Amino acid sequence: MSDVKEKPHPLIASDRVEGTAVRRPNGDMIGHIERLMIDKVTGKVSYAILSFGGFLGMGTNLLPLPWARLSYNIGFEAYELDIDEEELRHAPSFRADKDFDWGDRSKEVELHQYYGIPPYWGGF
Q: Which domains does the chain have, with CATH numbers?
A: 14-115 (2.30.30.240)
Query: What pLDDT is stored for residue 92 in this prediction?
Result: 87
Query: What pLDDT is stored for residue 123 in this prediction?
Result: 64
Query: What pLDDT is stored for residue 37 in this prediction?
Result: 93
From its phi and psi, is residue 77 left (phi > 0), alpha (psi between -120 and 50) or beta? left
Query: What pLDDT is stored for residue 69 in this prediction?
Result: 93
Query: What pLDDT is stored for residue 88 in this prediction?
Result: 86
Q: Given strand 21-23, what is the order of strands in its sheet?
A: 71-73, 78-80, 21-23, 29-38, 45-52, 61-66, 94-95
Query: What pLDDT is stored for residue 29 in this prediction?
Result: 94
Summarize pLDDT for 47-82 with one digit per residue, the tens.
999 998 765 555 678 899 999 999 999 999 999 999
Summarize pLDDT for 1-59 with one digit per residue, the tens.
455 566 666 778 888 899 999 999 999 999 999 999 999 998 899 999 999 876 555 56
